[in-house]
Amino acid sequence: MGESAKKGAGTVTSLAEMFPAEDAQKAVKRVQEKLAEIQNELHRVRGFISDNSNLINLVQKLPEQLHHNIIVPFGKAAFFPGRLIHTNEIMVLLGEGYYAERTSKQTVEILKRRGKVLESQVESLKAIMRDLKAETSFFDSTASEAAEGLLEITEDYVEENSTERESESGPPKEDAPNFSEAEKAKVSVEDEEYARIMSKLDELEKEELEAECGNETVEENEQVAVDDEEYARLMSRLDELEKEELEAEDEKIKDDFNKLPDQKSLDTNLRHSEGYQSRELLEQMKDKKSATEEFLSKCDPQKDLTNQLNCMGLAVQSVPEDEKSHGKSLLHNVIKSSPPEKALMLPEVKENVQPAPLSRSSS
């Protein structure tokens, strides 16, 4: 616990520094212009293809008659009736001013070959368009992320066994300077981190489930230790985020402590419970004692006094609600709950407030 001062080295860079928002948007515009050009080209080539197919039809119809009676255009504004003779003899432009006399069947073959060339051009244009579209979407996402003030936090992964747990609690201290960053940045970071962490925790749960089924407790602990390297990291991230929320919320709680409107306490409980849903599930699946013990031994106790209390309090509350894992459903149950449960919650809130100043004063 004294070794918690050992920090994991890492860097925090704002995404806006790496990819300035304006530049990203300019890049998006450029790529979109190129895309428009290519689309015009595609349009033209498709026009050629349709002309080609029309011509093929016409040329196939010509030799059906020896002579065709037609109205011939004469100059700009006149026509006269005429006859189309030698219907099977067609002068085909091969290119570069070269003409060849061919029958209609041979002409059709030439036209079909030309059609194939045009089709291959269309395919290549489409491929180029696809690439450009991928580029635009990438630039768009970076531009929007940079605008939101998303932070890129890179941490070194220290490959040690026991001291690793302590080093993982180092990163939360790095976040202290970021407290001064815009609220918006934090919120977006937290939300995305939450989603990511939740998915990772789900994977870890599955792994541990499998581990639990097959092994003895000894092996389980070992495997759990291996899995828990990542788990600890994720948990510590969760802790940081929730600590931030907690500290923000504790202000409110302190103010309203005297009034203690049930709604507020419910809200705070709800937020904590949302964060702790996954932990609850894990605890229910694992051996409860071993889980909490390991948890305590891994993490910084001063920080986790609150977490611990909440876990225990909420675990008691949620045991009956085993199946429903959504925070909202928990809220409903809480609202409908009988007074004794509410009484249970209020002391929790008190416990929340007290350890928080404790942790702050000692931190």
Partner 1 sequence: MSSSTVLRELQRDFEAKSNDLSKLQKDISKNHQVRKKYTIQLGENELVLKELDILNEDANVYKLIGPVLVKQDLAEANANVRKRIEYISAELKRLDGNLQDLEEKQNSKKEAIFKLQERIQSLQAGKAKA
Contacts of partner 1 in 214-253 (CB under 8 A):
none
Q: In the bound complex, what is the minimum distance in angstroms from residue 86's beta carbon to partner 1?
A: 13
Give the nearer residue to partner 1 in terms of CB position, either 97 or 214. 97
Cα angle, residue 247 at apex, residues 241 and 250 outer, rounded to 5°: 135
Give me 154's structure tokens. 């890179």
Contact letters for partner 1, residues 305-334 (x by CB under 8 A): ------------------------------
Give the nearer residue to partner 1 in terms of CB position, either 75 or 177. 75
Question: Can residue 2 be called a binding residue for partner 1 (CB under 8 A)?
Answer: no
Give the nearer residue to partner 1 in terms of CB position, either 113 or 206. 113
Contacts of partner 1 in 71-110 (CB under 8 A):
91, 94-102, 110
Give the nearer residue to partner 1 in terms of CB position, either 34 or 173. 34
- Among residues 5, 18, 36, 117, which is the contact residue for partner 1, using CB under 8 A? 117
Counting residues that bind partner 1 (by CB under 8 A) gives: 14
Give the nearer residue to partner 1 in terms of CB position, either 111 or 305. 111
Q: In the bound complex, what is the minimum distance in angstroms from residue 91's beta carbon to partner 1?
A: 7
Q: In the bound complex, what is the minimum distance in angstroms from residue 121's beta carbon to partner 1?
A: 10
* CB contact at 8 A, 234 and 200: yes
Give the nearer residue to partner 1 in terms of CB position, either 117 or 346. 117
Of 69-77, 113-121, 194-202, 325-333, the window that binds partner 1 (rule: CB under 8 A) is 113-121
Give the nearer residue to partner 1 in terms of CB position, either 111 or 225. 111
Q: In the bound complex, what is the minimum distance in angstroms from residue 199's beta carbon to partner 1?
A: 49
Give the nearer residue to partner 1 in terms of CB position, either 84 or 94. 94
Q: In the bound complex, what is the minimum distance in angstroms from residue 46's beta carbon to partner 1?
A: 19
For binding to partner 1 (CB under 8 A), which residues are involved? 91, 94-102, 110, 113-114, 117
